[in-house]
Amino acid sequence: MEPLGLPLYLRIKNIILERIIAFSYVEKLPGELVLAGEFNVARGTVKQAIDALVQTGILFREQGRGTFINRDILQHYYSNLPDLLLRFTGSAPVALEIESLMPTMADGDIGVKMGLAIGSQLQRLERYVKQDGRVVGHGVTWLDGSAYSGLSHIEEGRSLYAQLCESYGFSPVKACDSVVPALCSARLARILSLPEGSPLLRLERRAANAEGAILEYSQFHLADAELSLTIDARQITSDGRWQCTVAP
């Protein structure tokens, strides 16, 4: 959530930055006049936004050639999404083990969740979550098959998002995770070696590009995982609205 009353040039700066991270702009930015027309603002406002990114080193100007992206500097500021945002009990590290990767088509349920028509091409990735040699979770990820056409291999032990970025030039830049309690089904009981009906956490993720198109929908069922959040609610005296900050 952007702070209330954020100056216009900073909002434009954030949009430009999202596009840079998502590889919507690969080597250089469009001209200031082009961006001013797109955002329907004065050229000076766009220049302020670009100046703010130049100050961080993410952008640099070349006289007569335009404004270019410094990917090396960008990597010091931003990294790919974590595969999982939950904490697991126990001190042993958690790893994702690949069970299968195959092309499939969207059914009605997945189509609705990803905003795709029934029959749209998808890549289905099934993984186990392992800790200290024990399976503590199971997940299925559906990737937009038109965006990631021909995906045939994912390396274990490396970030899914980093590999998508390397192979296709882009990966999701924003995600919405929903975590709810669930009960262990008969199939999950066999996978997780738990009694049927045991309590689990179900994590659903929708991850999108800078324009909001859903590139990924994932569903994980996890044992021995925990989520702790602190919600700080404050009333803004100027307009009476409430602003909430969520922290892990």
CATH number of the domain within which 147 lies: 3.40.1410.10
Which pairing describes strands 87-88 and 94-105: parallel, antiparallel, or unpaired?
Answer: unpaired
216, part of any domain? yes
Residues 28 and 47 in one domain: yes
Domain of residue 198: give its range: 87-226
Residues 221 and 156 in one domain: yes
Q: What is the pTM of this model?
A: 0.67
DSSP designation for 174: E
How many other C-beta atoms are found inside a 10 Å radius of the C-beta of residue 155? 10
pLDDT in tens, 135-183: 999 999 999 999 999 999 999 888 888 888 778 877 887 888 888 899 9
pLDDT at 2: 46
Burial class (CB in 10 A: 0-12, 13-18, 19+), 245: exposed
Mean pLDDT computed over 75-92: 64
Mean pLDDT computed over 227-243: 64
Mean pLDDT computed over 27-33: 93
Domain count, the chain: 2
* pLDDT for 21 beyond 90: no
Q: Calculate the alpha carbon distances from 162 to 104, 136, 170, 231, 240 in Å.
A: 23, 24, 9, 31, 42
Tokens of 68: 């270019």
DSSP designation for 118: T
248, part of any domain? no
pLDDT at 157: 83
Regarding predicted confidence, which is higher, 35 or 24? 35
pLDDT at 246: 66
